[in-house]
């Protein structure tokens, strides 16, 4: 963000400097040219005035010679012509004589306004001696353009220096302004990321940046404090429920065991049924607590080798599958590293494999596989059991969503909560030939993308 703000402000300042400095330099250059021309024409008129006294009034050429010598000392070249365009007098240099000078003299003697050319770094001007329409002669003055070029170069040099200085000041101010704005936002982003990773005690700094950013940081801190209180409250409730329910259930199971020791007949059967209900209630409590923990999960992403976890869980559940007469296998796939909380993929696969083994009859098959699809890790558990209806699939990820489930009906809810907490997702599909396939999408680890 700092770089974008700096470049944006720098581009805006550059445009403003160009729009301000360049036209000013062009205007000053034009004024210098006009001033140089005016000064040269004034010097030419002075010589023309002295030449008129000699050509028209037949006075001695003393005044004309004096002005020509003054022009020569000033570095100019001048020549005086009579009405027939014949050279009368000139300075030692020949720049005011030649074809171009003669053309200017002819235009002046004819009463026309000449267009002075620039000849090899010199500017030529021609002025009539006497009246403009009936001149008695003409004066041509050639002056070096070096002083004009030097002044123009100085104008553009100072303009460039001002532009560079303004640009340097703009870079410094833009960078400082961008840092002033972006630094608290970057700190807020870092704090939000840590809060999302589970560090609930992190708070943003509210002492720096613009007032809007400080208010945003204060609002964020209020939200983080409420979130921390809410999560800690839920965790306390879960801990209390876990203790308050499991303890009496364990005591009830022990009492039933004691009562069933000497029971016979119908009494023993009733006690066995009560034991099964207590066991089902214990599993239900454990499932609800597992869902609650999954809903409150704030995982810190770690690099998880999905292919190794799949192989490990398949090996761990293979004895259970053999005992039930089900073939459990892992499909071959590439080495795959996903971004997940520690232990979450194991918990997800345990729930899915357990559900699949409960659903598949003897002689059935359960396959676990993985692959990379469209920049994400994909893990699936496929069985050839009875499958699910479309209505059951629509509510399968809710608590007790599937009324036909053999277990607690919380396995898929736990899977869904853990996947969404890690930035993934899950969907249910029909297995070709019959059965159910649970397809999970997991974020790849940064090095795998």
Judgement on whether residues 113 and 14 belong to the same structural domain of the protein: yes
What angle is formed at CA 320 by the lines to CA 256 and CA 428, rounded to 5 degrees? 105
Predicted confidence (pLDDT) at residue 120 exceeds the cutoff of 60: no
Q: Are 384 and 360 a contacting pair, CB within 8 Å?
A: yes
Residue 39 lies in a domain: yes
Judgement on whether residues 8 and 129 belong to the same structural domain of the protein: yes
Place of tokens 């898929």: 412
Residue 336 lies in a domain: yes
Judgement on whether residues 291 and 394 belong to the same structural domain of the protein: no
Helix (H, G, I), strand (E, B) or coil at 208: coil
> CA-to-CA distance for 396 and 416, rounded, in angstroms?
10
> CA-to-CA distance for 438 and 18, rounded, in angstroms?
63
Which segment of 32-46, 110-124, 187-201, 301-315 scores lowest on mean pLDDT?
110-124
Q: Are 115 and 100 a contacting pair, CB within 8 Å?
A: no
Q: Hey, what are 443's tokens?
A: 């974020």
Domain that holds residue 23: 2-149
Dump the DSSP string for 30-63. Answer: HHHHHHHHHHHHHHHHHHHHHHHHHHTT---THH
Q: Show which of 129, 149, 169 is a domain's final residue.
A: 149
Higher-pLDDT residue of 417 and 309 is 309
Q: How far apart are the first and last CA of the chain?
A: 24
Question: Would you give the distance in Å from CA 376 to the centre of its chain?
Answer: 23
Residue 230 lies in a domain: yes
Of 423, 421, 398, nearest in space to 411 by CA: 398
Judgement on whether residues 21 and 123 belong to the same structural domain of the protein: yes
What is the CATH number for 221? 1.10.287
Mean pLDDT over all residues of the chain? Answer: 81
Q: Show which of 149, 167, 199 is a domain's final residue.
A: 149
Predicted confidence (pLDDT) at residue 443 exceeds the cutoff of 80: yes
Helix (H, G, I), strand (E, B) or coil at 297: coil
Place of tokens 């000041």: 169
Judgement on whether residues 411 and 386 belong to the same structural domain of the protein: yes
Residue 182 lies in a domain: no
Higher-pLDDT residue of 382 and 200 is 382
Judgement on whether residues 128 and 42 belong to the same structural domain of the protein: yes
Q: What is the DSSP letter of 444?
A: B
Q: Show which of 295, 323, 350 is a domain's final residue.
A: 295
- pLDDT (mean) for 146-158: 89
Q: What is the DSSP letter of 75?
A: T
Q: Are 112 and 148 a contacting pair, CB within 8 Å?
A: no
> CA-to-CA distance for 347 and 418, rounded, in angstroms?
9
Helix-helix angle 2-55:146-196, to 10 degrees:
170
Judgement on whether residues 129 and 101 belong to the same structural domain of the protein: yes
Based on the structure, what is the number of domains in the chain? 3
- pLDDT (mean) for 382-409: 74
Predicted confidence (pLDDT) at residue 8 exceeds the cutoff of 70: yes
Predicted confidence (pLDDT) at residue 280 exceeds the cutoff of 60: yes
Judgement on whether residues 102 and 43 belong to the same structural domain of the protein: yes
| Predicted local confidence at residue 383, as pLDDT | 92
Residue 172 lies in a domain: no
Judgement on whether residues 259 and 332 belong to the same structural domain of the protein: no
Within 261-408, residue ranges assigned H as helices are: 266-295, 306-323, 344-359, 390-394
Q: Are 388 and 350 a contacting pair, CB within 8 Å?
A: no
Within 387-436, residue ranges assigned H as helices are: 390-394, 411-421
What is the CATH number for 356? 3.30.565.10
Please write the tens of the pLDDT for every residue from 226-278.
Answer: 877 777 666 666 666 666 666 777 777 777 777 777 677 777 777 777 777 77
- pLDDT (mean) for 119-132: 79
What is the CATH number for 126? 3.30.450.20
Judgement on whether residues 392 and 313 belong to the same structural domain of the protein: yes
Judgement on whether residues 279 and 308 belong to the same structural domain of the protein: no
- pLDDT (mean) for 127-135: 83
Residue 163 lies in a domain: no
> CA-to-CA distance for 125 and 104, rounded, in angstroms?
8
Residue 174 lies in a domain: no
Higher-pLDDT residue of 133 and 219 is 219
Predicted confidence (pLDDT) at residue 61 exceeds the cutoff of 90: no
Judgement on whether residues 284 and 313 belong to the same structural domain of the protein: no
Residue 185 lies in a domain: no
């Amino acid at each position: 963000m700092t770089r974008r703000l700096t470049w944006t402000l720098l581009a805006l300042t550059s445009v403003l400097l160009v729009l301000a400095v360049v036209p000013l330099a062009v205007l000053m250059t034009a004024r210098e040219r006009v001033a140089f021309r005016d000064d040269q024409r004034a010097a030419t008129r002075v010589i023309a005035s002295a030449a008129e006294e000699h050509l028209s009034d037949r006075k001695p050429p003393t005044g004309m010679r004096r002005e020509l010598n003054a022009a020569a000392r000033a570095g100019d070249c001048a020549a005086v012509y009579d009405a027939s365009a014949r050279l009368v007098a000139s300075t030692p240099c020949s720049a005011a004589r030649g074809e171009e000078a003669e053309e200017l003299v002819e235009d002046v003697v004819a009463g026309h306004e000449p267009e002075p050319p620039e000849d090899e770094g010199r500017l030529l001007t021609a002025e009539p001696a006497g009246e403009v329409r009936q001149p008695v002669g003409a004066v041509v003055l050639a002056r070096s353009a070096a002083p004009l070029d030097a002044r123009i170069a100085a104008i553009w040099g100072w303009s460039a220096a001002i532009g560079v200085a303004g640009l340097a000041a703009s870079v410094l101010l833009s960078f400082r302004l961008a840092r002033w704005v972006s630094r608290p936002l970057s700190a807020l982003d870092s704090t939000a990321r840590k809060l999302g990773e589970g560090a609930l005690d992190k708070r943003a700094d509210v002492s720096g940046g613009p007032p809007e950013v400080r208010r945003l940081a204060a609002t964020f801190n209020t939200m983080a404090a409420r979130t921390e209180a809410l999560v800690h409250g839920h965790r306390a409730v879960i801990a209390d429920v876990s203790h308050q329910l499991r303890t009496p259930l364990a005591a009830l199971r022990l009492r039933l065991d004691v009562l069933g020791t000497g029971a016979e007949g119908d009494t023993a059967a009733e006690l066995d049924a009560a034991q099964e209900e207590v066991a089902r209630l214990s599993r239900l409590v454990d499932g609800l607590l597992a869902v609650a923990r999954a809903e409150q999960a704030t995982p810190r992403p770690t690099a998880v080798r999905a292919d190794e976890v799949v192989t490990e869980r398949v090996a761990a559940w293979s004895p259970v599958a053999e005992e039930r007469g089900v073939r459990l296998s892992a499909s071959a796939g590439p080495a795959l590293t996903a971004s997940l909380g520690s232990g979450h993929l194991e918990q997800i696969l345990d729930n899915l494999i357990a559900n699949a083994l409960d659903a598949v009859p003897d002689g059935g098959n359960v396959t676990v596989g993985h692959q990379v699809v469209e920049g994400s890790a994909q893990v699936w558990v496929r069985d050839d059991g009875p499958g699910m209806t479309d209505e059951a699939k629509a509510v399968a990820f809710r608590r007790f969503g599937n009324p036909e489930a053999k277990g607690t009906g919380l396995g898929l809810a736990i899977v869904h909560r853990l996947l969404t907490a890690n930035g993934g997702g899950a969907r249910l599909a029909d297995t070709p030939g019959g059965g159910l396939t649970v397809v999970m999408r997991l974020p790849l680890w940064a090095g795998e993308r």
